[in-house]
Chains A and B, each alone.
Chain A
Amino acid sequence: MTLEIILFILFALIGAASGVLMITRKNPVMSALFLILNFAALAGVYLLLNAQFIAVVQIIVYAGAIMVLFLFVIMLLRPDAEISILRTNPLLKYVAIGVGVLVFAQLIYLIFFFKPLNITPSDVAERIQIGTVENIGTEIYTKYIIPVQVAGFLLLSATIGALVLAKKKFE
């Protein structure tokens, strides 16, 4: 057992467990906190994959900005306690389990029995090279400049849309 395997198991267990806890907690604030834990564990997995910049952005943008927005809205609205749909409609439990098993089985089938690509792991020096800020910045501002502009426009329209939707009165 190398340190890499131990760290991977640790982060994977935290990620998987916090995901399950996220969908089973009644209190939405607890759900949001477990989702933040999940994002932090994912950032650790990204570090194991030598994607340093993505790991940092994951913490800053997802665990920081987006989840603060979620927590703010939960605390602003204070929704009344959720009546579990599993209690009002017990049949749905079996439907959810069935769909979950089906989706998971499909993904596992794809992963293990369908290999169009012969993946030969790239060497570590190359993997570290592609994850640096320098390399990703160069790629974004040269090869992917038009998609970046489109993404910026999307964010602008989302900002305007959020302002219009959250206004007190519609004209």
Chain B
Amino acid sequence: MIPVEYYLVLSAFMFTTGVIGVLIRRNAIVLFMSIELMLNSANLTFVTFASFLGDSAGQVFIFFVMTVAAAEAAVGLAIMIALFRNKQTLNADEVNVLKW
């Protein structure tokens, strides 16, 4: 029987990796992938507690997280295609027309 902390530490490490990825990368698609990594670490926490507390609500919740992730990926990548068509770049720092 693996203690619950092991899973939670793995989840925390993956979340931190995602946060650092968002900070150090400038390719908008890789930023998206870092966000997916963070969503997945949250999923791991959900499954861990669902399993250890014997409650299936956590596993059901993952479906909603996955739905939101899929919707986010579809809309976000469509925005990226529109962005690339207009600016010929995916660098998040060069997209600054809304900034003043």
Q: Which residues of A contact B (CB under 8 A)?
A: 4-5, 8, 12, 15-16, 19-20, 22-23, 28, 31-32, 35, 38-39, 42, 45-46, 48-51, 53-54, 57-58, 61-62, 65-66, 69-70, 73-74, 76-77, 79-80, 82-86, 92-93, 95-97, 99-100, 103-104, 107-108, 111-112, 117, 119, 121-122, 126-127, 130-131, 135-136, 139-140, 143-144, 147-148, 151, 154-155, 157-159, 161-163, 165-166, 168
CB contact under 8 A between A111 and B8, given known A66-B69, A136-B59:
yes
| Distance A150 CA – B24 CA, assembled complex (angstroms) | 35
The one of A12, A23, A83, A117 that contacts B30, using a Cβ cutoff of 8 Å: A23
Interface size class of B (residues with CB under 8 A): 35 or more
**CB–CB A74/B6 < 8 A:** no
| Distance A74 CA – B47 CA, assembled complex (angstroms) | 31
| Distance A121 CA – B47 CA, assembled complex (angstroms) | 13
Q: Which residues of B contact A (CB under 8 A)?
A: 1-2, 4-10, 12-21, 23-27, 29-30, 32-34, 36-37, 40, 43-44, 47-48, 50-57, 59-60, 62-64, 66-75, 77-82, 84-85, 89-91, 93
